[in-house]
Structure 1
């Protein structure tokens, strides 16, 4: 039995991992795969990859590209979700801010530096013509930290995945002023270099299993009702999310795509300069 540790956010995107683990599909292939939730998001998972706490991570594209450039000893091996992530731009229920333009000089809550909430705040600022260098950040750790910061007035706005935060909008904890979609595929699979060297075949097996599940995921019986109940979402919200979400079709990640993403990240001031895209990815099927 080969031991592998995989991690991701505790959100509906990762329910296919729950299904395949529940069905013991990895165990049948001689792999003892263990899942860990990372509510702190991509910044937390990048640290876990660096420390060896996790072997495989389902991370935001922009976050892991930036962290590999900054020395994370990992590679991106494929896209996990190829559609954009829709980031809601939220303020507290009693906030004085009424529209996105009001937020130019406000304090933005982020889970960690290098996280999606941090990098997408930069993208949003760029989209609105703000001076990115003048953004004010407040590190809050995770979604609960964002709730606390906006409720207590420690920060003014907080960006998090639209559908995950929808119940908080519905119950009046947050007000959403708008959305900011990622200008690239949102989730990728990253693996530590050491694991790719020592357990390449097992990593391929894991990918084959999860890709096979996501390929048919939308067609599973009552999947919308299952997800709505598990993630405490309104059924119509889950149905909308399913309609706009596209998983990877099993194709490897191309250097051209990563180069195009890096070009955008440079334009958005998310990274200072491009690196050789071949150094960021590993095509398992060459």
Structure 2
């Protein structure tokens, strides 16, 4: 039995992994896949890959591309979710901010530097024609940290996946004033180079198992109710999310990788582009 460590956010996107684990599918294939929930998100998972605390990460495309270019010894092996992530732009419900333009020159709460909430705040600022160099950041680590920072006035807005944050909008903690979709597929699967060199067949088998589940995921009976109960979401919201979410069973394309790198370069998030083979592993 090979032990492989995997990390991902505790969000509805990752239910396919948990179903495979609960059904014993990895175990049947001789793999002890050990899942770690990482509420801090992509920046923390990049650090875990670098430190060898995890072998695999289900991670935001822009965050891992940036970190591989910066020396993370890992590669993308597959796109996991093909559709964009819809980032909600949230303010404290009691604040006076009503429109996106009200947030120019205010402070944004982010989970950590290099995280999706950090990089997408820069993408959003560029979309709005704001000066990206003038952005101010408050590191809050998690959604709970963001609630605290916004209510205390330490930060003024927070960007996080729209549906996972909706319970906080529904209960009057946050108000969502706009959405900002990623201009590329949102989640990829990244693996440490050491694992790709030592256990390529095991990694390929893990992908085969998860892909069989994501391919059929939307057809699982009452999957909307399962998601609703596990992730504290209204069934109507889950139905909307399921309609717009597309899982992938294929690797990232050269065109998509170029799109991500070009935008990151344009925003001064990276200072150089890497070639396809330095970022992506093809089986």
1:27 aligned to 2:24? no
Deviation at 1:92, TM superposition (A): 0.3
Q: What residue number does 1:256 align with?
A: 255
Q: What residue number does 2:273 align with?
A: 274
Q: What residue number does 1:43 align with?
A: 43
Deviation at 1:279, TM superposition (A): 0.6
Where do residues 203-282 of structure 1 align in structure 2 (5 Å cutoff)? 203-248=203-248, 250-282=249-281
Q: Is the 8 A contact 1:255 1:278 kept in 2?
A: no
Q: Distance in 1 between matches of 2:266 and 2:175?
A: 29
Deviation at 1:152, TM superposition (A): 1.1
Q: What residue number does 1:58 align with?
A: 58
Deviation at 1:260, TM superposition (A): 2.3
Q: Is the 8 A contact 2:184 2:256 kept in 1?
A: no
Q: Secondary structure at the match of 2:25?
A: coil
- TM-score, scaled to structure 2: 0.98
Q: Distance in 2 between matches of 1:157 and 1:282?
A: 37
- TM-score, scaled to structure 1: 0.97
Q: What residue number does 1:101 align with?
A: 101
Deviation at 1:138, TM superposition (A): 0.3
Root mean square deviation, CA, Å: 0.9
Q: Distance in 1 between matches of 2:117 and 2:67?
A: 15
Structure 2 runs not aligned, ≥5 long:
none
Q: Distance in 1 between matches of 2:182 and 2:252?
A: 17
Deviation at 1:39, TM superposition (A): 0.2
Deviation at 1:42, TM superposition (A): 0.3
After superposition, the C-alpha distances for 1:153-189 in whole angstroms (9 at most, x for unaligned) are: 1100000000000000000000001000000000000
Q: Is the 8 A contact 2:117 2:159 kept in 1?
A: yes
> Aligned residues, how many?
283
Q: What residue number does 2:17 align with?
A: 17
After superposition, the C-alpha distances for 1:184-243 in whole angstroms (9 at most, x for unaligned) are: 000000000000001110000000000100001001000001101111101100000000
Q: Distance in 2 between matches of 1:254 and 1:283?
A: 11
Q: What residue number does 1:128 align with?
A: 128
Where do residues 192-211 of structure 1 align in structure 2 (5 Å cutoff)? 192-211=192-211
Deviation at 1:93, TM superposition (A): 1.0
